[in-house]
Amino acid sequence: MSREDNKLTLPGERVASIEEFEGGKNTYMTPDGTVRSATVGTTVYDLKRRIVKIEQKNSPMLPKVGDIIVGYVEMMFSSMVSIKVLYINDKWSEAGFSAIASARIGSRADVERRGDRRATFHNGDIVRGRVISLLNSTIHLTLTEKEYGLLYALCFICGGDTVRTSESTIKCVECGAFENRKLAHDYGKESFRLVLKAGK
């Protein structure tokens, strides 16, 4: 006897606790005793043997290498950012994919200033990137090239609207705060609006 979840499971998603089910095909366990999916697919619970596995689906909506992604920053790690995918090649994506990108993309000036190439990101930042790899069913993006990086962000202090003031700085129109960021060449509210429009 088995039960199949209709919804698409994404890499890293929790599918069971180890007390409930043992991890089968395409799963892995985290130290807290959580069984997680290692791929994109359908979760199948074998209720008799108490094993959970993920049946891989070749979803046509899974991005390909070279695809352009627009999404928002949902989580930050020391040198990585996790990005919730909203658009793939300007088409709205309902799959709820998450992609990851290296935050080590700062300019040479950043290295001189901070001794590090780590770019600043905040939760909710709208970013554009290009898919460079799908290793282990994880969507890896690059934000390095000039078309990629921060597409639009609200002020990190007051949440106000921001405008670009130089190649790598934005300024809040409300409180005047400046911030150094890795900007896409067409940074701004208008560009994000165009993406929203195209994706409909």
Q: How far is the CB of 198 from Zn ion (least distance, A)?
A: 28
Which member of 61, 75, 157, 198 binds Zn ion (CB under 5 A)? 157
174 touches Zn ion (CB under 5 A): yes
155 touches Zn ion (CB under 5 A): yes
The answer on whether 196 is annotated among ligand-binding residues is no
Whether 92 contacts 84, CB under 8 Å:
no
172 touches Zn ion (CB under 5 A): yes
Tokens of 51: 């094993």
175 touches Zn ion (CB under 5 A): yes
Nearest CA among 99, 90, 108, 101 for reference residue 12: 99
Total residues at the site for Zn ion (CB under 5 A)? Answer: 8
The answer on whether 175 is annotated among ligand-binding residues is yes
The answer on whether 32 is annotated among ligand-binding residues is no
What are the Cα distances from residue 189, in Å, to 71, 134, 145, 147, 165?
Answer: 14, 30, 20, 15, 14
154 touches Zn ion (CB under 5 A): no
Q: Please list, residue by residue across 95-130, b when 16 or more beta carbons sit within 10 angstroms of its beta carbon and e when fewer do.
A: eebbbbbbbebbeeebeeeeeebbbbbeeebbbbbb
Q: How far is the CB of 101 from Zn ion (least distance, A)?
A: 25
Nearest CA among 67, 123, 62, 59 for reference residue 90: 67
Our CB check for Zn ion shows the closer of 47 and 175 to be 175
Residue ranges in contact with Zn ion by CB under 5 A: 155, 157-158, 160, 172, 174-175, 177
Residue ranges of the annotated binding site for Zn(2+) are 155, 158, 172, 175
